Structure 1
């Protein structure tokens, strides 16, 4: 583990300055500082990718490519500030057999690592709900496990206000059936983000998502009889 790779305080401080000066003239004048801080984030992302690749197969091959652009797409947004005020990025799992994705977000007072299914398509959502309808206990066992609760608390994501079409509102797993997104989120304090152990903490958070990912991957790559659809 390359524990010497850390997030410097200056990387979070730069974001705070950007929040106060979210305009192109200031950003252009401070571009050298931005590039220096970006390099720290990319180096960290690369080290995390390297470690994560030892236990998962990832399509993402470069930490640099995993980090999102700082420039906001403001074409359809009421908020016309041109720059994001956080460092963010993601890693994609490889092949159709491995579902779910990893995401990281670094920002003073609001740092978190997340994983899951942000916008499952209609077919995937139906398949997941069908599984819950037949057997919710297997997934509930994961959600109630010590490692899941201590890391992520509870499953998160948007939910329907009532039962999805075709399912009984009194179903014993109605709380699971109402989910439209399936997200797990681990939050970190600023002290944790800036600590020498953060790479290890971040890796541990991602590793603890695996039972959740493995369950969803199995469901989404099999039919209701458990036969592979790949």
Structure 2
């Protein structure tokens, strides 16, 4: 587990995964579109943690660029022990008003890309008999919440199945399901703490989300729901009518 590849690594949860994994001594491969942001983070990580950091500035929605990441995942000379599928973006909940091409890109990045990268990573991991795959999903995957919830629901279901199938062969797959988290993800869509029905007490810190999810992944859990408050919320959604769960899902952006 000495080298981790992280997508969406230039900011937010991706950058926090990079920091916390580097703190354990793991070398890193950072993947995102923003080369300048990646290089800046890489320099900090090399200086603070004395680890090797590679930078892959690619757009995962472009096939030729994504192929570079897939090829890196199967490089036997520099094996990847941990894959963190974190890249993503949000859209307004009003599906009928969203541009359909934006929705298709959203679907590809949240479903097709992690599926392809997981498929690539599994080959060498299974051959070695060890590896760890972390798929950053969301509590939205348990709640009706437009196409974002649908995409994350797929990722949770896929991760559960994959963990059950591959954990006996030494490769675990964990879906991480945070709630509202201070990362810039929601703020970029105009949602600030305390606005639009989301209480300040429901916001999580990125460092806590990542730390708990890494502990759960190390234990081989198929699903990680950081914080007790969101564990309780997800448990509650199983008991209430779907119409009420949909109202909960309509909060925020």
State if a TM-score over 0.5 links the two structures: no
Give the helix-richer structure, 1 or 2: 2
Compare relative contact order (CA 8 Å, sep 6+) and give the higher one, 1 or 2: 1
Of structures 1 and 2, the larger Rg is shown by 1
What is the TM-score normalised by the length of structure 2?
A: 0.26
What is the TM-score normalised by the length of structure 1?
A: 0.28
